């Protein structure tokens, strides 16, 4: 019996994703196997056609059976191509559901360790309740030293409750974020984990200085092989972690920018003292700056001069984010709107998104897309990136017609059309006739929390491993269907 098969994309509504993964029809000589993407509205439809030719040279049945392993692998790869990267976890959101860890949660954010946890794919957090944190806070450690102590509680491997009781030889040594930070001397950043009799598991720093080990209490949250949050009885510490840490030299924004190709932008900040002060006020709490290079500022100069003083201030503030984003964290924003120093918290304006494609990172407004050309400074809690264009907010400039036509439909709340009071907006490119008032610079209290850095996927059942199990099942079903030939 001869037969052939073809694979073709079929567009379906998202609601149809609830249909059976595999559909067959025994009432027809044509058998159809449909592979539905688990995450999108596209499917791959595989048709096995009997007594007809999909290709000039049909395959006999025995040849088709011999090709089944290759076909299954191909189907698996095709289906895998439709599966997006699983979004990251959010330690701040997870712990917010457990008030007993509110102090621990607060200091993870204050020390910027929450961002470190969120950007990692495999991590274990040893959480300490509020009473346990009181003992640490009673030592009156500086924030930088407290960061090292808390970094001992973040293991760079995955340990669920089950794994703790299956340790080879009954014990193991795991590296902590303190060890990988470079601040630990020798092996002082390693944690010894021991599985004792009757289910007791203990944790202790490699060089604990005589401190008693902490005992495993319970599992708080586990997303297999992604993140595990375990409660321990007391805080981990060591003399090395508690050693005083010298404060890093403050970042001189304008000086650094001037030396790294952003002198023109630095001069604009120096010419606007209030704006520069807004940037500097965020240096300690967290700041990310996108500074246009000199060529970009020179090309933009005519537009900049046409802005009012308030418009110029808003434009400069638009290039700063009141939170620290490392290059890795920028890649995790997934195109979500980011609040800037120019963001008016009442109208939620002056925002843009950051996207990545491999190593390339772009900043996209409604008008322009700028590419990060270099990292000027990446020193937690501050980062400065050089970009090849000046960022233009739609609050100050007219959105090009092509961009408007290509843009997705706005949310229902924004459907109200404003009265036509801006005839000057028709006069080509340049600022709108009526510019927005200069927004109040966002201070530390208005800065986006770590909740804004990477949204938590509470539907984490669809982790990467789960997705692959589905895909494997699909491939197996494909082989079974074709074996009927």
Long-range contacts from 386-389, C-beta under 8 angstroms, 24+ separation: 386/260, 386/261, 386/262, 386/291, 386/292, 386/293, 387/290, 387/291, 387/292, 387/293, 387/296, 387/363, 388/292, 388/293, 388/295, 388/296, 389/292, 389/296, 389/300
Burial 352-378 (b: 16+ CB within 10 A, else e): bbbebeeeebbbebbbbebebeeebbe
231: burial class by Cβ within 10 Å (0-12, 13-18, 19+)? Answer: buried
CA distance 260 to 263: 8
Closest residue by Cα to residue 121 from 485, 469, 472, 464: 464
Phi and psi at 483, nearest 5°, equal -65, -15
Tell me how long the chain is: 485
Give the CATH number of domain 91-246. 2.30.180.10
pLDDT tens figures, 252-270: 999 999 999 999 999 999 9
Alpha-carbon dihedral 470, 472, 477, 479, rounded to 10 degrees? 160
Greater model confidence, 402 or 176: 176
Closest residue by Cα to residue 256 from 87, 417, 386: 386
Closest residue by Cα to residue 257 from 419, 128, 403, 387: 387
Greater model confidence, 208 or 371: 371
Choose the weakest-confidence range: 22-36, 83-97, 332-346: 22-36
**What pLDDT band is residue 72 in, cutting at 50, 70 and 90?**
low
First to last CA, the chain: 8
Q: Indicate the average pLDDT of the chain.
A: 74
Choose the weakest-confidence range: 4-18, 91-105, 152-166, 171-185: 4-18
Q: Span 84-88, mean pLDDT? A: 50
Q: Span 295-305, mean pLDDT? A: 96
Q: Edge-to-edge, what's the strand order for the sheet holding 227-232?
A: 154-155, 123-127, 227-232, 214-223, 201-205, 190-195, 171-175
CA distance 29 to 47: 11
Q: Which residues pair with 81 in a beta bridge?
A: none
pLDDT for residue 428:
35
pLDDT tens figures, 429-483: 333 333 333 333 333 333 333 333 333 333 333 344 444 555 555 555 555 555 5
Choose the weakest-confidence range: 49-53, 208-212, 416-420: 49-53
Q: Which of the listed CATH numbers 2.30.180.10, 3.40.50.1000, 2.60.120.40, 3.60.15.10 matches domain 253-452?
A: 2.30.180.10
Residue 334 has pLDDT above 80, yes or no: no
Closest residue by Cα to residue 378 from 334, 325, 323: 325
Domain ranges across the chain: 2-85+465-482, 91-246, 253-452
Residue 100 has pLDDT above 90, yes or no: yes
Q: Span 356-375, mean pLDDT? A: 93
CA distance 378 to 327: 8
pLDDT tens figures, 131-171: 999 999 999 999 889 999 999 999 999 999 999 999 999 99
Residue 221 has pLDDT above 50, yes or no: yes
CA distance 425 to 431: 8
Greater model confidence, 359 or 389: 389
Task: Report the percent of the chain where pLDDT is more than 90.
Answer: 47
pLDDT for residue 330:
87
Choose the weakest-confidence range: 301-315, 355-369, 412-426, 446-460: 446-460
The pair of structure tokens assigned to 118 is 């969120």
Q: Going by DSSP bridges, is the β-strand pair 201-205/190-195 parallel, antiparallel, or unpaired? A: antiparallel
């Amino acid at each position: 019996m001869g037969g052939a098969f073809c694979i073709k994309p079929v567009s379906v509504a998202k609601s149809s994703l609830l249909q059976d993964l595999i559909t067959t029809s025994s009432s027809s000589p044509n058998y159809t196997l449909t592979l539905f993407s688990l995450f999108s509205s596209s499917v791959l439809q595989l048709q096995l056609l009997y007594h007809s030719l999909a290709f000039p040279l049909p395959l006999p049945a025995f040849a088709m059976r011999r090709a089944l392993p290759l076909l299954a692998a191909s189907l698996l790869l095709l289906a895998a191509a439709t599966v997006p990267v699983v979004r990251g976890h959010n330690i701040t959101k997870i712990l917010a559901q457990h008030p007993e860890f509110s102090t621990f949660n607060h200091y993870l954010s204050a020390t910027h360790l929450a961002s470190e946890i969120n950007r990692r794919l495999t991590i274990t957090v040893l959480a300490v309740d509020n009473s346990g944190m009181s003992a640490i806070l009673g030592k009156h450690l500086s924030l930088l030293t407290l960061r090292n102590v808390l970094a001992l509680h973040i293991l760079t491997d995955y340990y669920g409750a089950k794994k703790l009781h299956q340790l080879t030889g009954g014990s193991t040594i795991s590296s902590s974020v303190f060890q990988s930070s470079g601040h630990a001397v020798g092996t002082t950043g390693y944690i010894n984990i021991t599985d004792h009799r009757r289910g007791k598991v203990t944790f202790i720093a490699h060089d604990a200085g005589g401190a008693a080990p902490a005992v495993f209490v319970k599992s708080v949250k586990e997303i297999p092989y992604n993140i595990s949050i375990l409660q321990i009885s007391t805080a981990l510490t060591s003399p090395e972690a508690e050693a005083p840490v010298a404060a890093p030299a403050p970042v001189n924004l304008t000086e650094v920018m001037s030396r790294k190709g952003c002198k023109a932008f630095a001069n604009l900040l120096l010419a606007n003292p209030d704006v520069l002060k807004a940037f500097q006020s965020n240096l300690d709490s967290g700041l990310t700056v996108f500074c246009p290079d000199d060529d970009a500022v020179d090309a933009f100069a005519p537009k900049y001069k046409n802005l009012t003083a308030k418009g110029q201030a808003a434009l400069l503030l638009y290039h700063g984010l009141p939170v620290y984003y490392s290059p890795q964290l920028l890649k995790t924003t997934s195109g979500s709107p980011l609040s800037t120093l120019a963001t008016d918290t009442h109208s939620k304006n002056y925002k843009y998104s950051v996207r990545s494609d491999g190593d390339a990172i772009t900043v996209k407004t409604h008008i322009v897309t700028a590419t990060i050309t270099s990292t000027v400074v990446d020193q937690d809690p501050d980062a400065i990136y050089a970009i090849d264009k000046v960022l233009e907010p739609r609050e100050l400039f007219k959105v090009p017609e092509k961009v408007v036509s290509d843009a997705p439909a706005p949310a229902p709340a924004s459907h109200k059309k404003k009265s036509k009071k801006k005839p000057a907006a028709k006069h080509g490119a340049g600022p709108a006739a009526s510019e927005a008032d200069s927004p109040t610079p966002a201070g530390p209290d208005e800065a986006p929390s770590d909740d804004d850095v990477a949204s938590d996927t509470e539907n984490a059942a669809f982790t990467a491993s789960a997705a692959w199990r589905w895909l494997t099942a699909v491939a197996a079903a494909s082989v079974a269907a074709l074996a009927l030939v």
